[in-house]
Amino acid sequence: MCNGQAAKRMVCTLCALARLPTTARVCPSLGMKDLLAQYPNQVRFVYRHFPLGSIHANAQKAAEAAECAGEQGKFWEMHDLLFANQQAQQPANLEAYAQQLDVNLKQFNTCLTSGKMADVVQQDLSDGKKYGVLGTPTFFVNRQMVHNASEIEQAVQQALNTPE
């Protein structure tokens, strides 16, 4: 899911699992909103799911729930609820979060129970593995892995100063 309008110059990508404590600690402090505000036409933020089902049984469905909410324009709101409620991502909780977001529950539940977004989430996971993601959070700036969240702004500045 993207955040940032029609930015063409640079893409910041985060591969994450909404249930992992390290991701939850790092993500709010990334300053992505600040970067997007500072460079509205140059930076685009892309979130990719990296559900580690072997570690977190509900990770896949939680990621699908975010995508299902996204069909109704509420991806980021669901994303934020999932991060805020990492220990409560069972199916009943996912429906309760959708209800909090005032989405069409019938459409949301049909999407979630049908597995409609399973391939989208699995493609993110597959892409992450292809690019060397081993865990979350993992960051990329223009397809270059950034190993430390504190280095993202520096990587963005460097990419902006590099001729196209």
> Residue 54 and residue 45: Cα distance in Å, rounded?
27
User: In this predicted structure, what is the pLDDT of residue 96?
Assistant: 96
Average pLDDT over residues 140-164: 81
Structure tokens that stand for 153 in this block: 């702004």
Answer yes or no: is pLDDT of 130 > 70: yes
Answer yes or no: is pLDDT of 15 > 80: no
Answer yes or no: is pLDDT of 68 > 90: yes
Answer yes or no: is pLDDT of 158 > 90: no
Answer yes or no: is pLDDT of 33 > 60: yes
Structure tokens that stand for 157 in this block: 């500045």
pTM, two decimal places: 0.81
Q: What is the pLDDT of residues 93-108, one digit of tens each?
A: 999 999 999 999 999 9
Better-predicted residue by pLDDT, 120 or 27: 120
Which of 49-53, 111-115, 141-145 has the largest mean confidence?
111-115
Structure tokens that stand for 118 in this block: 């399973």
Q: How many other CB atoms are there within 10 angstroms of residue 111's CB atom?
A: 22
Answer yes or no: is pLDDT of 73 > 70: yes
Say which residues have a Cβ less than 8 Å from residue 18's Cβ, sequence separation at least 6.
24, 59, 62, 63, 66, 79, 82, 83, 86, 89
Answer yes or no: is pLDDT of 155 > 90: no
CATH of the domain spanning 2-161: 3.40.30.10
3-state secondary structure of 40: coil
